Structure 1
Amino acid sequence: MKYDYVFKLNAVELYRSGQWIETPEGISQKDFRKRIVQWSRIADIYGLDSLRHSTTCKERSAECRYQLVARVLAGESQKSVAISAGIDSGLLSKWVQTYKIKGYEGLNLKKGRKSKKEDKREQEIQTH
């Protein structure tokens, strides 16, 4: 569920004053409160404007993804690296797993579906 800037701002201000905003339907209270704490940390690091939705999609290069993955592999927590980069920790986790399986080339993510030709080529390679 996406929350607008005013909602996030209100939730963070209440949290900082020792109160909690009412948990919306469809999400557990525990998960929702974790999200508010994360919003608060992001706001502490990057300012309250960082709680706004980005108007453009941030396309990260393979090198940028690798730098974040390398920090995790060097021992930093995924959550702290994700917060510092302004991305979801689940996305970073996916990049780490992809890197472990496919290496650096796996971080060159392509958008969209594979072409049927690519699928056939991969199947031929696997059967030979």
Structure 2
Amino acid sequence: MRFKSRLRATVTMPLIALLAGCAATVIRPSASPCSALLPDEWTVGVAPAAQPESAKLADGHDDARPWQSGFVEQTGQLEVANGRYTAAVGIVGRCEARDAAAIAKARPKVLGIF
């Protein structure tokens, strides 16, 4: 009779330890959110190009060249703003994928297969 109780204890103790290890595992996401990876100065936005000064030609007509140059500069600023958006989406997407992979890797496996 005493042998059976020792055998039962010997068999059940590793199972209890295994279950206790699974129950005690805590999976926590990263302490810093993905948005913390974005530069702070991006919240200000991209400044527009300076408005060009009107100029007159020698014959009295308005000169369009300053305005043409201004639109080229404004297009450059728009490209900077669009580039920031694309970079932000990429950064946050990679951050979320990293966190998901870490959580999937940290999940405990029962008997190493489940």
Give the alignment's TM-score, normalised by structure 1.
0.19
Q: Which protein has the larger Cα radius of gyration, Structure 1 or Structure 2? A: 2
